Amino acid sequence: MTGSDRAAGTRADRPAGGPVPVLPRAFFAAHALEVAPGLLGCVLEHETGEGLVAVMLTEVEAYEGAADPASHAFRGRTSRNAVMFGEPGHAYVYFTYGMHFCVNMVCQPAGTASAVLLRAGRVTDGIPLAEARRVAGRNGARPVAEHDLARGPARLCQALAIDRRLDGADVCDPASPLRIRPSVRAGSGGAVPDVSQGPRVGISAAADRPWRFWLTGDPTVSPYRPYVPRARPKPVSSPAAEDETMRG
């Protein structure tokens, strides 16, 4: 590497001597339904000791608070969702299914819970590092297609190494390890991809609200999966085992 001339400088959209471009906090102070489509095309970056991985967002979902039964904040503030009630422009990271992290961008002024779930993106920087993270911890270690690196909310977090330590991180702070840059698709002069809208994925409540937004036709958008209740994990298979209370 040549050092000073091109360090982190593969992009020419940064004004010389100016501040690092990040989305202003006012952008996030609005309603999630307004913020969500505006996030498409923006770039989320996470810088760690391993290096930088960046993804251009291609799929998001809006969540309200008290008025949205599908929101984690629907039943009020808890230790898990506390960040959703705070200042906009911070990351709300939660852990689910015993193994996965998902990341949201907090919207609305402090006191009003609202957020946008980041569901998918296209890795634009640090592809080898993202690949290594995605195959880590697996035995078969089959290669991951480039368009699958951040296709899905938990995969996106794994590619970016986002975990609960980043819950509350300020993505509007240029000095933050996790930050978000403005859209690269606006004003480029080229064709602007269309935004599609449809129901949110994997939720049982308010499943009819079309609050999911994605870039039409983008291969990194996750497949739509409606909510389906799962059958009981272990149905009775032995006739003599009627004593279900035996576990104490």
Partner DNA sequence: CAGCTGATTTCCT
Partner DNA sequence: GGAAATCAGCTGG
Tell me the two tokens of residue 159.
């590619």
The answer to whether residue 79 forms part of the interface with DNA (CB under 7 A) is: yes
Assess 121 for contact with DNA (CB under 7 A).
Answer: no
Q: Does 88 bind DNA (CB under 7 A)?
A: no
Letters for 162-201 (x = contact with DNA by CB under 7 A, - = none) are: --------------------------------------xx
Tokens representing 130 are 């993202």
Does 211 sit near DNA (CB under 7 A)? Answer: no
**Least distance CB 192 / DNA (angstroms):** 26
Alpha-carbon dihedral sign for residues 81, 82, 88, 89: negative
Q: Report CA 38 to chain centroid distance, whole Å.
A: 14
Residue 224, interface with DNA (CB under 7 A)? no
Q: Return the number of other C-beta atoms located less than 10 Å from residue 74's C-beta.
A: 17
Q: Residues 11 to 40: which contact DNA by CB under 7 A?
A: none
Q: Helix or strand or coil: residue 197?
A: strand
Q: How far is the CB of 240 from DNA (least distance, A)?
A: 20
Q: Which amino acid would we find at residue 175? A: A
Q: What is the largest CA-CA distance in the chain?
A: 77
Of 103, 40, 36, 46, whose CA–CA distance to 72 is shortest? Answer: 103
Chain residues that interact with DNA, rule: CB under 7 A: 61, 63, 70-73, 75, 78-81, 84, 92, 95-100, 102, 104, 115, 117, 134, 138-140, 142, 152-156, 200-204, 222, 225, 228-231, 233-234, 247
